[in-house]
Structure 1
Amino acid sequence: MPTGLSLHIGLNSVDPSKYGGWAGRLRACENDARDMADLARGVGFGDTTLMTSEGTVKNVTAELRKAATRLKKGDIFLFTYSGHGGQVPDAPGPDVEEDDFDETLVLFDRQMLDDELYAEFQRFEEGVRIVSLLDSCHSGSGIESVSEILNPAAMEAQFGTSDPDQLEAGFRAMPLLRQTEIYERDKDFFLQLQQDLKSANGNGRKPTALLISGCQDNQFSMDGSQNGAFTGALLDVWSNGSFRGGYRQFHRAIQRKLPVTQSPNLYLTGEPGAEFLDQKPFTV
């Protein structure tokens, strides 16, 4: 019988000493992690949670590697993250990303590059099904303020306010100015890390993985009082397990519950087969 393991990360803040005095306070990310762990446990996964100060790059990497060691072909790994998202310029080279940026998970002690997460997924044995759910922002580098891309009337109708300060506080994006300051401070570190990751490339193997993200790379994910907007919509669609359909249908149903300003993305790597994609989500 297949084995299912899951890792759930929820950060309601980060270490201000690592982010130039910015604490990045949010409300619902730990709730998201707890609720997703409950969901996973209910369908037969072994679950691990890392909350706020536990959500360091070292701890996340260690848990990913534990799972990669344990899981074999036919098993499944579920990875969920709720917290801030950021971007850093991609390193020059032939494999530069289309938007010229690496998206990041803003972990407690530093940003973790999407390439780092991908490299950890490459450690999993071929044939392990990987499902990743990211409830975070991936805001574009040219965006200086939420108010510049969001229509005030739409924001008033959706969130009850169009005040930029209140809206900024409700989005899971590292402020652009803070991103720029931290990148300039840590530029040499990130450039070396990006180059090392591109050189290693996990022997070129693509993991069998699918991602459903909270939004597009140039959009924002909303925080909330109980859950993030994406996680809340996902839990509503899941409906305590009564959902019927595969991952594509699951993604579209979540999309329909969110506004056009936050459009979840379905991204596949390693060409997951129809058997995987057509399974009811979270099938061990």
Structure 2
Amino acid sequence: MLYMKFMSYLILLIMVLVSVAFLTLLEQKILGYIQIRKGPNKVGYMGILQPFADAVKLFMKEQTLPTVSNFIPYYLSPVFSLFISLVCWSVIPYDVGLLSFKMGVLFFFCCVGAGVYSTMGAGWASNSKYALLGCLRAVAQTISYEVSLALILLSMLILVGGFDFGLFSEYQRYLWYCVVAFPLGLLWFVSCLAETNRTPFDFAEGESELVSGFNTEYSGGGFAIIFMAEYSSILFMSAISVILFLGSGVGLLLFYLKLVFISFCFVWVRGTLPRFRYDKLMYLAWKSFLPVALNYLLFFVGIKVFIEMMIMYCMKCSML
């Protein structure tokens, strides 16, 4: 049984990596049509093999090593980043009973929190001032929006009363939470954009002011691994968004269609909106999202306590 679960998880990881490749193709195609151009259409039929050509090109490029870098953290940070983004997939509650467990939300919080260290390690170990400045502001951004993500998720946990992601599909059979808590759904999506360093919050990579950001000194395979970790996180956050707000039984075709739609929204936002200013990004997190998320949390707690008190009162009346 353990062997079968290990093989299932291994197949899942392979599928995630293939999905990352085709997500890059989807992004290039969507951005091409937004900008009134074709996008990739030469490699294979309609450019279908372009992601694999990009992967071969990246991994065959020369791997540079800064002479004054801290060798072990410099090499291990991208690997740790990809490892964290792939381990997160174990919390998805598949119907086949892959690796679902009862404390999936807590494990999700742990993985999201640990992902900050790979960004910090990559920027610090490069021993470059540009990379260090890029990692510092990327870490500040990620930690800030993790607070709003946690509060929004706590509000959803109040509604289901447990730490298992599988509970969300059971409670949303007749009414999706994007209807019950529509503002929280919007806050969650914007926080996911900031958490995954996507436009208009892509301050982890500042080409105009920091050369590239925390990944300035990476090339070839190291850059490709960081790139794969970012896009794997986009797919994972899309899956979590579907589970939380667009409830459907995981394992159904409908779930994957919703996941593709949320991923499409990530790309759509990139092709539409300009980059924020960094001080406005922090203002949005601490002055706008935090009060709204806290108010909703208190509101849901109050509603749940009120309902439980009414149930207890009715039970006492019936006993009398």
Which protein has the bigger helix share?
2
Give your verdict on TM over 0.5. Answer: no
Which protein has the bigger strand share?
1
Taking structure 2 as the reference length, the TM-score comes to 0.27
Taking structure 1 as the reference length, the TM-score comes to 0.29
Q: Which of the two has higher C-alpha Rg?
A: 2
